[in-house]
Amino acid sequence: MGDQEQAYVREAFATNWIAPLGPHVEAFERELAAYAGCEGAAALSSGTAAIHLALRLAGVGPGDDVFVSSLTFVASVNPILYQGANPVLIDSDEESWNMSANALKRAFEDAVRNGRLPKAVVVVNLYGQSADMDPILTLCGRYGVPVIEDAAESLGATYKGRKSGTLGDYGIYSFNGNKIITTSGGGMLVSNDTAALERARHWATQAREPAAHYEHTQIGYNYRLSNVLAGVGRGQLEVLDDRVEARRAVFARYERELGGLDGFRFMPEAPYGRSTRWLTTLTVDPAEAGVTAGDLIAALGEANIEARPVWKPMHRQPLLQVYRYYPHEERDSVSDRLFEQGLCLPSGSSMTERDQDRVIECLFARIKGWRYRHESA
């Protein structure tokens, strides 16, 4: 947090605009839309709420199918279930770790044969990098299916010069506490369809009709962002580009120090865009490295350093195992391999070189210990 966030929050208190409406909410929407390069934005209580409203705008309802990335957090999929629809889970590709156009094509071909096209496709942009949107948009356009771009982790990234989150019909951003900028909790729905955004705002304020009494003709939700948190978001947005550079510097240093180790492969930056490197992620091949990602997570944990696996794919979650899954190739599931070998390292924008040195030294110690035991044996 910086000085500007506190100034905006003090202003919210001084003017007594505390509720989920007010000048900071409206300004945050304008400023975020201007940054992203889209026509409009609706400030909401979470990125999950934004996905939910986008699905409703796309007409998703009970019994419908929605294609969605499998390698993601469950928040990308839960809103599909809120609408009573069926998620159809799509694998990743090696180049971006995001939605595989190959798998998506096969899913569409099956959908056409079955006479059951999806109502929407939810593309997730993982770890600060955009999916390869052109082939995905081409496929969806061929079948007239709207695209929802889950850019919760990729605010600030680009795809062929355009901001991640603005390629589809609707885009969503998250300002959860772990994101590159945060309002502690919050999200944004963006689109070039400003009339749709007005409907989303209406639903997000309990769908209250403009009457002196409380009148409701549609189902609504309590999904709007407060003026106080919007003030935090405005201050954070001012330093977003600095945060991106800081994250990229953290990634570059890890890659420089660890990239030469056997079996260590950092998440590639796809040639079509620029990643924020929101998290530094890599895979560890145990056959080459002699250790597993789990071994390294445990070693870091013993040193009071938090690290995690990459997302467990949705098709492996007990909640979602009953739904269809399309791997990248018929017998090659990229997301399974990434989960089994993936590792997320501490990557905060405020990390110092000393912080990184602790992580790097701990990893080297664990690898050196394995090599010593292995060579002695």
Nearest to residue 175, comparing CAs of 350, 369, 5? 5
Annotated catalytic residue, options 119, 179, 312, 368: 179
Does residue 307 come out as left (phi exceeding 0), alpha (psi in the -120 to 50 range) or beta? beta
- Does the annotation count 368 as an active-site position? no
Q: How far is CA 358 from CA 45, 280, 297, 370, 371, in A?
A: 36, 15, 14, 19, 20
335 CB neighbour count, 10 Å cutoff: 32
Structure-block tokens of residue 285:
């091949």
CA distance 107 to 327: 10
Q: How far is CA 341 from CA 143, 251, 295, 305, 371, in A?
A: 35, 18, 11, 19, 19
Annotated catalytic residues are 179
